[in-house]
Amino acid sequence: MTSTARPSGRNQTSRVVRHQMYIGGRFEDALSGGTLEVYDPATEGVIATCPAGDAKDVDRAVRAATSAFYGGWRKVTAQERGRVLLRLADRIRARRGELAELETRNSGKPIVEAEYDMDDTATCFEYYGGLATKINGEVLPVPAEAMAFALREPVGVAGQIIPWNYPLLMAAWKIAPALAAGCTVVLKPAEQTPLSILALAQDFEAVGIPPGVVNIVTGDGPGAGAPLVVHPDVRKIAFTGSAEVGKLIMRAAADQLKRVSLELGGKSPNIFFNDADFENAVDGALFGTFINQGEVCSAGSRVLVQRDIYRKFIDAAAAKAKTIKLGNGLDRETKMGPLVSSEQRDRVVRYLEIGRGEGKLAVGGGIPKALDWGWYVEPTIFYDVDNSATIAQEEIFGPVMSVIPFTDEAEAIRIANATPYGLAAAVWTRDIFKAFRVVKALEAGIVWVNHMQPTFVEAPWGGYKASGFGRELGHWAVEEYLETKQVFINLDEKPIGWY
């Protein structure tokens, strides 16, 4: 149903590299011997294979992580854990070009964006390298002849499942705080994009990560993700991905009352008042929606525009969207690459078909004809979309913007919050009073004013409502990997004398 008028079959141009996963400090095949194909979304060719891990491989990895945790990692000082993370940050900086190119080849994203991702990845490890030595307990003011304190202890083995949109950065967001907290890790990358984290794993031992402390199990969701969630020795699951899989994970974890943190989808509003800097607003709408081909959980895909500037805004946004250069992400001129997979492209194309019945098309709306290969979708803007429409309510995860008009501040807030999700939001205005009123009224875990998407490791990241719970980044992420132990010490030497 993908309406592509292209040659069928594969554009197989490169050598297929056979990768192994990383368990207990060694690169290993799946016990079953099974493999998955890994693609270049720009050529549709297979560039690699990785092991199709299953429950047996997950079990091996969890055993390695468990013995690493009890066998020594718990005794490694916070200073040394911090140094390990700092050394890993240095390695990422040293390998920036190579890792960015690999990320682009595997995910499709423009190389310039992949380079930003590598910088953010290094910064993330660096931040948690510094934070490792600042995880303190508290002394509590209990009465008289006693002393009490709260100890912070690592939860143990953390299971981590990540998506394909920011492959290495999402791995860093999960691995870095877990190691800072003193946990060991079994991470399952998305089956579409395992290459960058496997490449980084080559450096784990050299930077001082002992065998078993970080394990990477490749495989698909049902095959490798599901058994990780229900493994009895995994104490905590951190997941970033779709709401649909988030629900499955929460249900599966319930049987063992396992801790979960979930960073799920969004349908984030990007609100433009008539007093916003117009040129910036248009740019911000496109950037907020189309960065990373729109494959962003915090994409500002619902663009709310005040009626006074509505028509002008649509015309300007459409004109600018037409100039976005699509192409192979490895080309430095490329502003938008292909979507990650044919499945994702087909999914987005289905939404484009729905959108034609729900709104008016300002630009895009299909598969670009000029490119022979690659899972591209044109940057697309629908307008006159009702907030209750499917394209305004469901996360598309592609370059599709729905523009919705509003009359006043109250209506903007009402529309903005009328979604099951609550990940992010942005507001554009030069009126500081209005900006802060709207900030306070928005039900979202992240609110930007006069920008959208800038993300800093110091600041908390996560959603309200159906966008999940728990927070990543900053000191908040470390909390997700810590237990709190209350310790009470009786200082009164006389017998208790109750019975």
Estimate the crossing angle of helix 111-131 against helix 78-94, to 10 degrees.
160
- Residues in 128-167 at the binding interface with ligand ADP, rule: CB under 6 A: 161-163
Measured over the CA atoms of residue 205, residue 207, residue 210 and residue 216, the dihedral's sign is negative
Closest CB to ligand ADP among residues 241, 365: 241
Closest CB to ligand ADP among residues 318, 348: 348
Distance between start and end Cα atoms, the chain: 79
Contacts with ligand ADP: how many residues (CB under 6 A)?
17
Amino acid at residue number 234: V
CA atoms within 13 A on the CB side of 352: 24
Closest CB to ligand ADP among residues 63, 345: 345
- Residues in 222-251 at the binding interface with ligand ADP, rule: CB under 6 A: 222, 225-226, 229, 241-242, 245, 248-249
Closest CB to ligand ADP among residues 161, 305: 161
Instruction: State the nearest-atom distance from the C-beta of 69 to ligand ADP, in Å.
Output: 22
- The residues facing 150 across adjacent strands are 138, 486
DSSP state of 210: -
Which two three-digit tokens encode residue 85? 């993370």
Instruction: State the nearest-atom distance from the C-beta of 226 to ligand ADP, in Å.
Output: 4
Closest CB to ligand ADP among residues 241, 269: 241
Closest CB to ligand ADP among residues 179, 245: 245
Using CA atoms, how far apart are residues 184 and 213, in angstroms rounded to an integer? Answer: 5
Are residues 340 and 41 in contact, defined by beta-carbon separation less than 8 angstroms? yes
Binding span for ligand ADP by CB under 6 A among 26-34, 169-177, 184-192, 355-363 = 184-192
- The residues facing 485 across adjacent strands are 151
Q: Kindly tell me which residue out of 40, 57, 120, 191 binds ligand ADP, with binding defined by CB under 6 A.
A: 191
Catalytic residues: 263, 297
Query: Applying CB under 6 A, does 58 fall inside the site for ligand ADP?
Result: no
Instruction: State the nearest-atom distance from the C-beta of 338 to ligand ADP, in Å.
Output: 15
Name the strand (E) or helix (H) holding 470: none
The tokens 């450096």 sit on which residue?
Answer: 203
Query: Applying CB under 6 A, does 190 fall inside the site for ligand ADP?
Result: yes
Are residues 198 and 215 in contact, defined by beta-carbon separation less than 8 angstroms? no
Nearest residue to ligand ADP on Cβ basis: 221
Query: Applying CB under 6 A, does 120 fall inside the site for ligand ADP?
Result: no
Using CA atoms, how far apart are residues 29 and 18, in angstroms rounded to an integer? Answer: 10
Query: Applying CB under 6 A, does 61 fall inside the site for ligand ADP?
Result: no
Residue 264-303 contact track with ligand ADP, rule CB under 6 A, x = bound: ----------------------------------------
Closest CB to ligand ADP among residues 185, 404: 185
Task: Give the distance between the most distant pair of CA atoms in the chain.
Answer: 88
Q: Kindly tell me which residue out of 205, 220, 275, 411 binds ligand ADP, with binding defined by CB under 6 A.
A: 220
Instruction: State the nearest-atom distance from the C-beta of 223 to ligand ADP, in Å.
Output: 8
DSSP state of 448: E
Binding span for ligand ADP by CB under 6 A among 188-196, 305-313, 365-373, 462-470 = 188-196
Please report, for residues 26, 50, 52, 465, 495, the alpha-carbon distance to residue 63 in angstroms, rounded to integers and kept in the order given.
14, 21, 19, 35, 45
Instruction: State the nearest-atom distance from the C-beta of 436 to ligand ADP, in Å.
Output: 35
Are residues 188 and 174 in contact, defined by beta-carbon separation less than 8 angstroms? no
Which two three-digit tokens encode residue 49? 């294979």
Query: Applying CB under 6 A, does 221 fall inside the site for ligand ADP?
Result: yes
Instruction: State the nearest-atom distance from the C-beta of 355 to ligand ADP, in Å.
Output: 19
Using CA atoms, how far apart are residues 379 and 326, in angstroms rounded to an integer? Answer: 9
Instruction: State the nearest-atom distance from the C-beta of 219 to ligand ADP, in Å.
Output: 8
Assign 3-class secondary structure to 123-152. Answer: HHHHHHHHHHHHCCCEEECCCCCEEEEEEE
Residues engaged in binding ligand ADP (CB under 6 A): 161-163, 188, 190-191, 220-222, 225-226, 229, 241-242, 245, 248-249
